[in-house]
Amino acid sequence: MKSGKAVGPDDIPVEVWTCLGEAAVEFLTSLFNRVLESERMPEEWRRIVLVPIFKNKGDVQSCSNYRGIKLMSHTMKLWERVVEARLRKVVEICEQQYGFMPRKSTTDAIFALRILMEKYRDGQRELHCVFVDLEKAYDRVPREELWYCMRKSGVAEKYVRVVQDMYERSRTVVRCAVGQTEEFKVEVGLHQGSALSPFLFAMVMDQLSEEVRQESPWTMMFAGDIVICSESREQVEESLERWRFALERRGMKVSRSKTEYMCVNEREGSGTVRLQGKEVKKVQEFKYLGSTVQSNGECGKEVKKRVQAGWNGWRKVSGVLCDRKISARIKGKVYRTVVTPAMLYGLETVSLRKRQESELEVQFQLLHTDHFNHKEHDDTD
């Protein structure tokens, strides 16, 4: 678990256990063994502070544009990681799930989609893609559905009861600018900010999609972000309806406003996709896992956005990079941590033209030049 994270209600940061070394290992081992044997965790771990975080898009006064992050006990999160490690040994998640899986990342899913699009573009054939968005995915998971999916995935009953104990009798307060609310119970959904929730959600999605998913890359999931691909509009529309039915009959909800359709290498009159009689929004480009894919197969907009992201990252840390009192070593570390990843994210999946490679090289050199100019000023002081 990384250091520097916001603490939970018990105000005990994970750094405490790190500093205690072997003594902490012995104490936590004994504590976790008692929790496992009794199937009851300490009452102090049940209190959760919910902090609403604005998504930086839409109306700031609309509650739907906020994501609720739960601040939980760091010690409980360590316990969750122990449970997760045990569950991963017995639960096998489908290959179509790229989120929170070992040796898989966003770039793998982006690369698979781009390769599929390029193949159909080179063959002058249409490829129909629907990007499915789930409304409040974590918050909508029914608890009974979670227990059912765990059992169906082969999880031992003891660990089902252990996870149930994490959710039973939990008490939540909302922290906002004017203070905290009174405690209340939350009886649906997974804990946002929990160390175990991503794997539990992947397990639920694996079971809910068992009868409708196709082989990768025709179906790909990254947690709750789903992309469905097909060679014809009718097929992708039919697949979308099957997904909707499979998910919504078990308590999930497909967003009608955020689910979008894109046709690669489109010919005239290819039409649109409908979901329960309503047209799905048709787009010429889509931001998939942070990388922009275009219906014409080009990558010019993604290159421009990467350049912009690099400069935005530079501006965010310009106070550090331009400060003559800060050493060149620290500046270089900040630059490599903030600017370089923002500019290069996902570009290993893109087939660049020479002109685009040159544009990236020029912009990268400009950023480097600006950075090293400030380093030279530091050295001459």
Q: pLDDT tens digits, residue range 91-145?
A: 999 999 999 999 999 999 999 999 999 999 999 999 999 999 999 899 999 999 9
* pLDDT at 69 exceeding the cut of 60: yes
Q: Hey, where are the domains in the chain?
A: 14-294, 300-380
69 vs 369: which has the higher pLDDT: 69
Distance CA 375, CA 323 (A): 9
Q: Which pLDDT value is given to residue 260? A: 97
Structure confidence by residue, pLDDT tens digits, 13-22: 999 999 999 9
Question: What's the mean pLDDT in 263-267?
Answer: 90
Distance CA 114, CA 96 (A): 16
* pLDDT at 190 exceeding the cut of 70: yes
My answer on whether omega of the bond before 217 falls inside 30° of 0, hence cis, is yes
Structure confidence by residue, pLDDT tens digits, 283-293: 999 999 999 99
Mean pLDDT of the chain: 91
Report CA dihedral (139, 144, 146, 152) to the nearest 10 degrees.
Answer: -160
Structure confidence by residue, pLDDT tens digits, 236-260: 999 999 999 999 999 999 999 999 9
User: DSSP character for 349?
Assistant: G
CA of 22: how far to CAs of 2, 75, 80, in Å? 18, 16, 20
Q: Which pLDDT value is given to residue 364? A: 85
3-state secondary structure of 285: strand
DSSP assignments along 176-201, one per residue: ETTEE---B---SSPPTT-SSHHHHH
Cβ neighbours around 178 below 10 Å, total: 6
Largest Cα separation within the chain, whole Å, is 70
Q: Which two tokens stand for residue 247?
A: 């998910």
Sign of CA dihedral 118, 119, 123, 124: negative
Structure confidence by residue, pLDDT tens digits, 11-47: 999 999 999 999 999 999 999 999 999 999 999 999 9
Q: Which pLDDT value is given to residue 377? A: 44
Distance CA 93, CA 210 (A): 10
* pLDDT at 376 exceeding the cut of 70: no
